[in-house]
Each structure stands twice: as C-alpha cells, then as structure tokens.
Structure 1
C-alpha cells in the first residue's frame, strides 16, 4: 500500500497485485471478491425462485412492496416474502460490489482514489434525490428516474476511476463493471415489475445476472494471476475451437431463456408468455446443447493429451456441462418441475463462469515462461 511501503518505480507499481500484498487489505479484497461471486450466483437462485413459485408480482410496486409499505404485508402471503427476499438479496449484492470497488481502490490508489470514489457516491445519491423530488410532483415514474440518474453517475465514476489509475487496470475495470451492472440490474428489476413481468425483460434480467457471475469469476482469476503482458498458452486451433465453444454455450443459454419464457413458469398466474411453442423450443434448445457437449469433450481430451495448463479447468467445465445436460434431460422428461428448472438455471450460470475461467487460462503472463 502507498502508506505502508517504500516508493516503487512506475513499472513495478503497475505490476503490483493487491491479492498478493502483505497488507490486511489484500485479505479483505479476497474475501469480498469471493462473496461477490457467491452472492451473484445465489441471486440467480432467488430470482429463479420468484419466477418458479409464481411470486413475480408478490410485491406489486417498486421499490416499495405495496403502495403504502416497503415490506410485504400479511395479505401478500408467501409470494410477497419470496419477492421481497430477492429484492433484499439485491441490496446484499450491491453492498458487496461497493466493498470490492472501495477496497480495491484503496489497495491500488490509496486514500486519494478512495476519497474520489466516495465523492462520486455522495454526488450520485444527492442527484438521484433531486431527480426524485422533481419527478414525483409531476406524477412521473420517480424511482426509475432516480435510479437512472444513479446509474449514470456510477458509469461516470467508473470511467474516471479507470482513466485515472493505471495500476491493475484489469481488476479496476472488472470491479466497476460488476458495480455498475448491479445498479443497472436493480433498475431493470424495477422495470420488470412495472411492465407486469414482460417475458423479454425477464429473460434479459436473467442473462444480465448470468453475465455478472462471469465477470466476478473473471475478477477472481485475474486477482490471483500475475499482472502484466500475457501470451497465448495453447495452440491456435485450440483457442479458436474454445471460442466456438463459447458461441455454442451462448446459443444454448439464449434458447434456454426463450424456452423457459414460453413454458409454464411465467412468474405469475396472470402473466401471458410471448407465444412461442415451448415444445419446439425445447428441442431447438437441445441442439446447441449437444453440440456444446461435443465441443467440450474434444477440448477436454485435447487439453489432457497435450498437457495444457488449462486441462484441469477444462475438467471442471466438462463436469458442469455434463451435469447440466443430465438435469436438462431429466426436467424435460418430468414435465419441467420447478425445482429442476431452478437448478438448471443456476447450473447454466456456473457453466458460463467455468467457461469464463477456461478462456482466461488460454493466455498466461509472459513472465511465467521466463
């Protein structure tokens, strides 16, 4: 840390890794980074529970639960509790994302970077409050407008932070993406409720959450990795096939979202789906899924045959995809029971996170071969 260490050259400073620093802040960063990944995964499960139990409109308003209450009332029953629980989890995820940013900024930029970020945070809260105060008397959607202002300030703060500090810019970018993403997700979640669970917005909400799981996984990888230039650690054909596998994974998830959006789990008994034939989509969803499984099998065998550094993570990805395929077949044959669908949703996020880790191991620090 700048306050506890002798001055370093700019080159050495740029290669400093907060995760390997002896300062107590390094331990805090590791703890919050892992909590960020875990809670981003958990919130996919709680969000799935909202949808699969028909609790999507358990709280009829946003951000209040009812027009007159922040928390659910007894009349709303279990559905209100489930929906409010997911909203509470959003707050937990947001607090942890803020903690990651602040601890990281202190680790790489000292008190000056931390103070600057806090000034932005205060300005965001004040401006959001002003926006609400102006919009409410005009009978405009005050909370969405205030949330949009807070999101805009968060983006400006992220740009300022990344441009103003070259130390571990990779971690800085990933931490800010997570925080801005959480703020954006809260905004999208409110729009989801206000639009009566529009299936396309619900699907976008899920995909965005899944991407945040991938971003937090990427942060963990880079946090433990040596900083600096990186070079390809696998043959070119392996890298190309790995990225094609990512396309197959993305298509599998996309058609999975559309399939769920056309199935029986709409989030509320009165919500209409988008009209696609769920039976047909279920088959279409399986096609890229089987291609994905085949590509992962080829990569796994190749990685072990060539003794590539990525081979152990390929084993993790292969295991995740295998379990995902088995659960997918099982849920289809059982008529899409809610529990299995929820497990399938969480496994999709974990599979995407495992793939993210694999891709990030296709390169290695240049010094690793010195």
Structure 2
C-alpha cells in the first residue's frame, strides 16, 4: 500500500520529518483501533458464552460498593465481565488517539484544541447532569452518558466544518469515537435491562459496524485523496451491493439465532421466544446465497481484472471459514468456543466486504 496521503502544512525538512513521524503514529493507532474493535467482540462474546453477562450486577460500577469485582460469589464471571468493561476503555483511548492524530495532521492545533474544549465541556455537562438527576433519585449514569454523547456529536459537527481537507478521515475517526461512547451507554442499558436479548443483539451489531468503520478508515488512510470514479462496470457494482444485503440479512438472522439459543449470558435470563432450530436453518439460507454471490463476484473480477479482485479473495476465504465453523458448531451442539469464533469471523467478513466496496471506485488519475 502507498504511504498515508495527508497534506503537511509546511514543506520544511524538519516539518517533513515531524509529519512522517505523526503519519507513522497514525497508521499504528489506526491498526490498533481495528484490532481492538475486533478483540472486544471476542471479549463481549466471552461474557455471553460463559454466562457472565451479570457478573457485574451494576453499571458503571461492578457492585453497589465497588468499581471492580469484590464478592466471592462473583467468581470468574465477575472477572470476565469486568475485563470486557476494561477493554471498552482501551478501545475508547485508542479511538481518541486516532482522532487527535487525524485532527492534528488535517486541521492543525485549532482543530485539536476545539475537540479538546468540547471534550472538557462534555465531561462537565455530564457531571452536572449526573448530580441533578441523582438529586431526583433517578438512574443518573445513563443520563450523564447521554449528555456526553450529545457533546461528542456537537464536537464532531464543528470539527468537520473546521477541517480543510481529508474530511473522509475526520468523519470516520469521529464516528468510531462516537460509536465507542454510544456502545458504553448501550452496554449499561444491557445490564440494567437484565440482558434483554434484543438489546444484546443490537450491542453486537453495533460493535460489528465499528469494525467495518475502522476497516474503512484504514482503506481511506492509505488511499490517494481527491475525486474518485467507478473502477467496475455498473452491473458489478449493483451485484456487489446486493451481496452486501445478503451479508446483512445473514448477520441479522445469526444474531436472532444466537439470541434464541442456549447462550443467553446468564442462567436466569429469558430468551425472546423464537425457535432456535428453525432460525438456524433460516440463517443458513442467506448464508449460502451470500457464498454464491461472492463466488460470482470473485470469478468476474478476476476474469475482467477489476480493482477489488484481491480483496474478494480475502472475503471468499473469510466466508468459507465462517461457513465451516457454522456447520461445525451446529453439529457439535453449539460449544461456546466455536460460537465465539463464529461471532468474530462474522465481523471480519463484514470488514472484508467493506474493503471490497471501497475498491469499487478509484482516484481519477489512477489505473486499474
């Protein structure tokens, strides 16, 4: 891949060296962000698959008296749930680092200071909301997180307006940070609602989308900026988007199937009432359609030597492994480890598809 193409505010040699160091740091943190978003799907899956969903009975505290597990009866479940919460913090720190690096390289100090000012204002607003709502004897943390989320949205809008170039990177970086804050709120709601299966499913799909966004950021980070034109025939682009629909349907039915199966996150949690056996079959139908569509795209891309052909091979590999693990876990009675691998592979398949779609276009002055 070519080097990151973010313009430097000056052409002086010292500034060029400084820009190269910041560009290298941005690439490192961008990859870390993608890996962290993928890993947290695994840790979140571990929470559910080990029955640790209520290992911490409270949120944001683990127990009414402590941020960390302290009761003997919490055991390994409390450690697993708390570990996933810690991972959320790691993901947030990395997302913030990526955002600040992007803002520094695209908008300079003004953009960075503006973002930090909004961050401090958002934290102050969240504290005020927390105090006021606590006085009303209501759950204060969700309201405080909501205030922080609003502040992040306001900061994102202002930051995009201040950005002179590479707004694509700025938007994607903000979406990741916004998503992390929103996911923390959704995770808290998940605990407070006793692991409602629909909210748990939404929590997983949101995490999967963040993996796709971080993958998109990596693609755009290494891509040439400027106008882009189609790199494939119109029919190929249409078929690619139909494939995306099949992928989305497959994932949704997979989430519903898991939400109807034995891995509820806690022994006392009720499922949403669907027949898991029937859903498992329904889930496989769009999966096989997806495999056929991807095979058709891959063959066509290599025959016509189209831009996304190499990434389609990655998608083929991801889907083949995913299908194999899916059949294996069904025959073995849904062992937790295989279910967890299946969940992570779904996010990687979606990320690979995202990369394929972003290669449907190319810079105006490039060649296939």
**TM-score, length-normalised on structure 2?**
0.95
Who is 2:228 aligned against? 230
C-alpha contact 2:107 2:162 (8 A) present in aligned 1: no
Report how far residue 137 of structure 1 moved. 1.9
Q: Is residue 2:68 matched to residue 1:71?
A: yes
Q: Aligned equivalents of 1:115 and 1:164: distance in 2?
A: 12
Who is 1:279 aligned against? 277
Provide Cα deviations, 1:208-244, integer angstroms capped at 9, x if missing partner: 0000000000000000000000000011111111000
Who is 1:170 aligned against? 168
Q: Aligned equivalents of 1:134 and 1:313: distance in 2?
A: 52
SS of the residue corresponding to residue 172 of structure 1 reads helix
Who is 1:56 aligned against? 53
Report how far residue 74 of structure 1 moved. 4.1
SS of the residue corresponding to residue 60 of structure 2 reads coil
Report how far residue 22 of structure 1 moved. 4.5
Equivalences for residues 1-370 of structure 1 within 5 A: 4-5=10-11, 22-75=19-72, 76-369=74-367
Runs of 4+ in 1 over 6 A off after TM superposition: none
Q: Aligned equivalents of 2:273 and 2:163: distance in 1?
A: 49
SS of the residue corresponding to residue 148 of structure 2 reads helix
SS of the residue corresponding to residue 56 of structure 2 reads coil
C-alpha contact 1:2 1:110 (8 A) present in aligned 2: no
SS of the residue corresponding to residue 366 of structure 2 reads helix
C-alpha contact 1:2 1:109 (8 A) present in aligned 2: no
Who is 1:12 aligned against? none
Who is 1:9 aligned against? none
Report how far residue 136 of structure 1 moved. 1.0
Q: Structure 2: any 5+ residue segments left out of the alignment?
A: 1-6
Who is 2:4 aligned against? none
Report how far residue 367 of structure 1 moved. 1.4
Q: Taking structure 1 as reference, are residues 348 and 142 closer, same or farther at Cα in structure 2, changes over 3 Å only?
A: same
C-alpha contact 2:59 2:188 (8 A) present in aligned 1: yes
Report how far residue 309 of structure 1 moved. 2.0
Q: Aligned equivalents of 1:289 and 1:21: distance in 2?
A: 48
Provide Cα deviations, 1:73-108, integer angstroms capped at 9, x if missing partner: 141100000000000000000000000111100001
Q: Taking structure 1 as reference, are residues 117 and 66 closer, same or farther at Cα in structure 2, changes over 3 Å only?
A: same
Greater alpha carbon shift after TM alignment, 159-168 vs 122-131: 159-168
Q: Aligned equivalents of 1:171 and 1:31: distance in 2?
A: 15
SS of the residue corresponding to residue 333 of structure 2 reads coil
RMSD: 1.5
Figure out how many residues of one structure are paired with residues of the other and give that number. 358
C-alpha contact 1:151 1:180 (8 A) present in aligned 2: yes
Greater alpha carbon shift after TM alignment, 196-205 vs 303-312: 303-312
Q: Taking structure 1 as reference, are residues 354 and 21 closer, same or farther at Cα in structure 2, changes over 3 Å only?
A: farther
Q: Aligned equivalents of 1:279 and 1:21: distance in 2?
A: 58
**TM-score, length-normalised on structure 1?**
0.95
Q: Taking structure 1 as reference, are residues 220 and 21 closer, same or farther at Cα in structure 2, changes over 3 Å only?
A: farther
